[in-house]
Each structure stands twice: as C-alpha cells, then as structure tokens.
C-alpha cells in the first residue's frame, strides 16, 4: 500500500494545477467586461456633469404636488433614469385604481433593486478580482518551485511571469472596481433619494 500523504498531495496538486487556466480565462473575461463597463460609466459621468446642478428640487415641491408633473427646470436637473421613473409614476397616477399605492410601492422597489444591482456588479469584482489574482499567483508558484528543484530554469521563469502578471491584473481589477463602486453607489443613493421624494410629493393626498 502506497503512502496516503503522497496520494493526497498528488490529488491536491492536480486539482490546483487544473484551476490555472480557468483562473486566467476568468481574469481575461473580467478585464474585457471592465473595459465595456468603463465606457458606459464615463458616458454616464459626462451626462451627469452636463446636468444643471443649480436647481433645488425642494423649492418646487408645492408645484409638483399640485400639477403632478415635474417642471422643466427640475427635469433638466435629474438624470435620465429618474425621469423615466417619474413618467411611469405619472402613468400610474393617471390610471389610478384600488391598488394604486401597492403598484407605486412595487415601482419604487423595482427601481431601487435595479440601482442596487448595478452597484453590486462592481462590488463583486472588488473581491473576485484580487482573489483570482492571488490564485493565479499561488498556483504557478508551486509549479515554479517544482521546476527549480529539477533545475528547469525555463519552466520556473515562465511560472513566475504568470504568477506576477496575474497578481497585477487582479489588483488592477479590484482597484478599478472599487472606484466604480464608490461613484456608482453615490449616484444610486442620490437617485433613490430623489425618487422617494418625488413619489411622496406626487402621491400625497391620493385616495386608495
């Protein structure tokens, strides 16, 4: 009967080695996804910078409640996603039924969940990116040490290159994802605050 420890080591080494290519493939996929996401992110950033920020929405609450509509100088202050929500809310107000308040609540929850999911996408990469980078570092390090023991310098060098480059890629993904998560989270909080405020004002006094 063979040595069980050697058998377990061989199994663990085989499992670990087999994960290297999936880890590298996932890192490449995440890099491509991050590049595409960055394009949309900066497009939204530019669009938000163009919004007129000198309008205080609280000054128009009475008008919004009375007209059940957003004044034009308030609309240009709000991002597109909030304006789309308000249009759906106005449609519910115009077609009010016995379940009006329930439908409004569902509409708010759907919008908040959508905004939260957008932030969660990059929040996951904050953890996944560096974790994959660490895996991509440790796996080839084992191969490199084995090659060093056998005097195969070419294999050891190749393994070290893979180890260090995957670390850099994973950390870069984590840094970018943290930056995007912070900004997107701030936008989401601002949009949710405006959505809840506008909903409260427009639906005040509505009969159930």
pLDDT digit string (tens) for 163-175? 889 999 999 999 9
- How far apart are alpha carbons 6 and 118 in whole angstroms? 47
Nearest alpha carbon to residue 71 among 80, 88, 59, 81: 59
**What tens digit of pLDDT does each residue of 38-87 get?**
999 999 998 888 876 666 788 888 888 888 888 887 888 888 888 899 99
pLDDT of the residue at 24: 92
Nearest alpha carbon to residue 207 among 88, 90, 93: 93
* Tokens read off for 51: 């919004």
* Tokens read off for 98: 């016995």
- Position 207 pLDDT exceeds 60: no
pTM of the model: 0.81
The terminus-to-terminus CA distance of the chain in angstroms comes to: 79
Q: What is the mean pLDDT of residues 99-110?
A: 90
91: number of Cβ within 10 Å: 10
CA separation, residue 1 to residues 4, 6, 7, 8, 11 (Å): 8, 12, 11, 14, 17
Q: Evaluate whether residue 100 is within a structural domain.
A: yes
Q: What percent of the chain has pLDDT over 90?
A: 38
pLDDT of the residue at 152: 64
Nearest alpha carbon to residue 61 among 205, 189, 208, 188: 205
Q: What is the mean pLDDT of residues 107-124?
A: 92
Q: Evaluate whether residue 132 is within a structural domain.
A: yes
**Which tops the pLDDT comparison, 127 or 141?**
127
Nearest alpha carbon to residue 155 among 143, 172, 163, 164: 143
- Rg of the chain (C-alpha set): 26
- Position 128 pLDDT exceeds 90: yes
Tally the domains of the chain. 1
pLDDT of the residue at 208: 47
Nearest alpha carbon to residue 118 among 174, 170, 189: 189
Q: Evaluate whether residue 208 is within a structural domain.
A: no
Q: Evaluate whether residue 110 is within a structural domain.
A: yes
Query: What is the DSSP code (8-state) at residue 51?
Result: S
pLDDT of the residue at 139: 84
- Domain of 121 in residue numbering reads as 4-203
């Amino acid at each position: 009967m063979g040595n069980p420890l050697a058998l377990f080591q061989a199994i663990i080494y085989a499992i670990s080695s087999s994960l290297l290519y999936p880890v590298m493939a996932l890192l490449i996929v995440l890099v491509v996804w991050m590049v595409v996401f960055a394009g949309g992110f900066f497009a939204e950033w530019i669009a938000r910078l163009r919004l007129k920020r000198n309008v205080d929405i609280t000054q128009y609450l009475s008008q919004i409640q009375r007209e059940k509509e957003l004044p034009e100088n308030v609309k240009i202050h709000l991002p597109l996603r909030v304006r789309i929500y308000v249009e759906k809310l106005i449609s519910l107000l115009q077609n009010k039924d016995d379940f009006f308040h329930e439908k409004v609540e569902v509409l708010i929850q759907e919008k908040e969940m959508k905004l939260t999911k957008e932030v969660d996408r990059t929040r996951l990469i904050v953890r996944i990116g560096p974790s994959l980078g660490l895996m991509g570092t440790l796996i080839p390090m084992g191969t490199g040490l084995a090659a060093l023991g056998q005097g195969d310098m070419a294999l050891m060098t190749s393994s070290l290159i893979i180890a260090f480059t995957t670390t850099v890629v994973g950390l870069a993904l984590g840094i970018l994802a943290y930056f995007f998560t912070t900004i997107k989270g701030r936008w989401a909080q601002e949009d949710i605050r405006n959505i809840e405020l506008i909903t409260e004002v427009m639906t005040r006094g509505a009969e159930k």
